[in-house]
Amino acid sequence: MSQVSFSNILLLHLPLCLLAGRTFPKKGQTCVVHYTGMLQNGKKFDSSRDRNKPFKFRIGKQEVIKGFEEGAAQMSLGQRAKLTCTPDVAYGATGHPGVIPPNATLIFDVELLNLE
């Protein structure tokens, strides 16, 4: 498993993505992803896979937390990766009441399915 660090995000390339292409998201493009979000203790807080509905967001439009966007922007089309987002690029000291505690590091298993 290779590992790339940048900013406060840790991007781990899972072996499933060895055949991924080299098409990266550009600013303004819509990313279509499947993801599972977990706290550091492994507790799942959200999953597009569980809903069986891919999630869409636009690069550069601040539609998702900074760490998720920065991590996805480094992924190639078809790639599956693990993003570890520290609180300063996630929900910070506030958290997301009832779902994400304050100062939580979040872990996302993300697969970049398509670019629109």
Catalytic residues: 35, 45-46, 65, 91, 108
Query: What does residue 104 show for φ and ψ, rounded to 5 degrees?
Result: -90, 135
The two counts, helices (H) then strands (E), for the chain are 2, 7
What is residue 53's three-state secondary structure? coil
**Cβ–Cβ < 8 Å for 33, 53:** no
**Cβ–Cβ < 8 Å for 46, 107:** no
